[in-house]
Amino acid sequence: MAAPRNAFYAQSGGVTAVINASACGVIETARANHSKMGKVYAGRNGIIGALTEELIDTSRDSAAAIALLRATPSGAFGSCRYKLKSVEANRREYERLLEVFKAHDIGYFFYNGGGDSADTCFKVSQLSESMGYPIQAIHVPKTVDNDLPVTDCCPGFGSVAKYVAVSALEASFDVRSMARTSTKVFVLEVMGRHAGWIAAAGGLIEDEGIPVVVLFPEIPFDEKQFTDRVDALVKQHGYCTVIVSEGCHRPDGSFLAEQGSKDAFGHAQLGGAAPVVAGIVKRALGHKFHWAVADYLQRAARHIASATDVQQAYEVGAAAVELALAGHNAVMPTIERVSDTPYQYRIGMAPLSAVANVEKFMPRDFITADGFGITEACKRYLRPLIQGEDFPQFSNGLPVYATLANVAVARKLPPFELR
């Protein structure tokens, strides 16, 4: 009996607090099926590692090290922003991929990423037909933006949502304490260039009694309506919190974050949306403000990850291996919601043709009529996703996160130049 074929796994695009939990699911499930699947080779820095034949032999890491991936944020093997062109436009890269796959007897391709990555995975899945190399390509969903179609939610999102809701709640308590003589408006900028899912999570603190305004990329920013809303909330509550998506923009399409600000030396400065929004409040209403930009902190915050999210990230990784072993190609495991309360879901499957390059935005009925908050339907959707805590272990006051050995697989091919 021939040795089972090996697998290639790569992380793609912006990393998350739980993408390594998916890696853990892939590797542990592959190990459990070692009679049917060989080694899992990880791409160093994503798909680039496949092109440059920089493969990491994950079998060199102990079971304990791999298990610790479940509790480790970021991409343990390195990720990249690199989108393969079509086979027609860049045949050279696909031929190289096949050379590397052949050289290392790789028959399974697991690609862990968002919409762009699903497109890459889809292209690889077609190599069986287009270039006559038998390979099964399975996409493992990941994105803090929660903008993949078909699946009810995306691993990575629940944890950033929990981070944003917890952080916004805590900062709002702070502002509430100080509002009498100091800060009355706190602005928190969160990720989301096109879809407002992350900002929406900030809206959950309304249920904790916090006056909150949410600015979505889906709703063009109306300065007057916004300052009127803030004014009303501050008059009623003495303070308010504003959650602004980085992608919030004016009706003409210009981002709030890119208002052409320059520093004292005349250099263009990449602003944030938060200071712009804070400035608008200050000028219109005169309130003292504070602002924060969470940036990477939000998507890296494994210490406050959602247990639901960690579990789902693991499960889609495990399911990807199971789908491959069941003979599937060009598919992605999905999360199918069965019920809101109690929250139940099952792992489903979507064809990559339906996933690649499709973005899922906030439905209009998840946003309140005035455009500044989330509806009960949205809250029903969001609440289960931030449920549960899955704290990492701590040592000397800091979380214990995995740094793998990342032992290189010996090269068999000549170098390849990325262009």
Residue list 12-41, contact with a second copy (CB under 8 A): 14-15, 17
Which C-beta is closer to a second copy: that of 14 or that of 217?
14
Which parts of 256-275 interact with a second copy (CB under 8 A)? 259-265, 267, 269-272, 274-275
Which C-beta is closer to a second copy: that of 35 or that of 395?
395
Please name every residue paired with 290 in a beta bridge, in sequence order, or none if there are none: 186
Reduce the DSSP state of residue 232 to 3 states and report it: helix
Please confirm whether the linkage preceding 342 is cis (ω < 30° from 0): yes
Q: List the one residue from 178, 349, 354, 408 that touches a second copy (CB under 8 A).
A: 178
Shortest reach from residue 108's CB to a second copy, in Å: 23
User: What one-character DSSP code corresponds to residue 167?
Assistant: H
Shortest reach from residue 369's CB to a second copy, in Å: 25
70 is a site residue for a second copy (CB under 8 A): no
Site size with a second copy, rule: CB under 8 A:
87
- The answer to whether the CB of 9 falls within 8 A of the CB of 26 is yes
What's the CA dihedral at 379, 335, 58, 47 to 10 degrees?
-90
Shortest reach from residue 279's CB to a second copy, in Å: 6
Give the residue among 207, 218, 212 at the shortest CA–CA distance from 245: 218
Q: List the one residue from 38, 75, 317, 373 that touches a second copy (CB under 8 A).
A: 75
Question: What are the φ and ψ backbone dihedral angles of 55, each rounded to 5 degrees?
Answer: -105, 145
Q: Where are the beta strands (DSSP E) in 236-296?
A: 240-245, 289-293
Shortest reach from residue 39's CB to a second copy, in Å: 22
224 is a site residue for a second copy (CB under 8 A): no
Q: Where are the beta strands (DSSP E) in 78-203?
A: 106-113, 136-141, 185-190
Q: 3-state SS of 345-384?
A: EEEEEEEHHHCCCCCCCCCHHHECCCCCCECHHHHHHHHH
Give the residue among 281, 296, 288 at the shortest CA–CA distance from 189: 296
Which C-beta is closer to a second copy: that of 177 or that of 357?
177
- The answer to whether the CB of 294 falls within 8 A of the CB of 102 is no
**Cα separation, 229 vs 242, whole angstroms:** 10
Which parts of 301-320 interact with a second copy (CB under 8 A)? 301-304, 306
Which C-beta is closer to a second copy: that of 102 or that of 283?
283
Q: Where are the beta strands (DSSP E) in 114-205?
A: 136-141, 185-190
Which parts of 84-143 interact with a second copy (CB under 8 A)? none
Cβ-count burial 149-183 (b if 16+ within 10 Å, e if not): ebbbbbbbbbbbbbbbbbbbbebbeebbeebeeeb
Shortest reach from residue 193's CB to a second copy, in Å: 14
Which C-beta is closer to a second copy: that of 11 or that of 245?
11
Which parts of 144-173 interact with a second copy (CB under 8 A)? 162, 165-167, 169-171, 173
Shortest reach from residue 225's CB to a second copy, in Å: 19
Which C-beta is closer to a second copy: that of 276 or that of 323?
276
**Interface pattern 333-372 for a second copy (x via CB under 8 A):** ----------------------------------------
Residue with tokens 């249920």: 207
Which C-beta is closer to a second copy: that of 258 or that of 322?
258
Shortest reach from residue 166's CB to a second copy, in Å: 6
Q: List the one residue from 1, 224, 286, 396 that touches a second copy (CB under 8 A).
A: 396
Give the residue among 203, 273, 220, 212 at the shortest CA–CA distance from 244: 273
- The answer to whether the CB of 195 falls within 8 A of the CB of 201 is no
Catalytic residue check, 145: yes
Q: List the one residue from 86, 130, 177, 236 that touches a second copy (CB under 8 A).
A: 177
- The tokens for 295 are 């940036």
> Considering 57, 61, 145, 147, which one is annotated as catalytic?
145
Shortest reach from residue 300's CB to a second copy, in Å: 4
Which parts of 190-219 interact with a second copy (CB under 8 A)? 204-205, 208-209
Which parts of 376-395 interact with a second copy (CB under 8 A)? 383, 386-389, 391, 394
Question: What are the φ and ψ backbone dihedral angles of 190, each rounded to 5 degrees?
Answer: -125, 170
Q: Which residues are catalytic?
A: 145
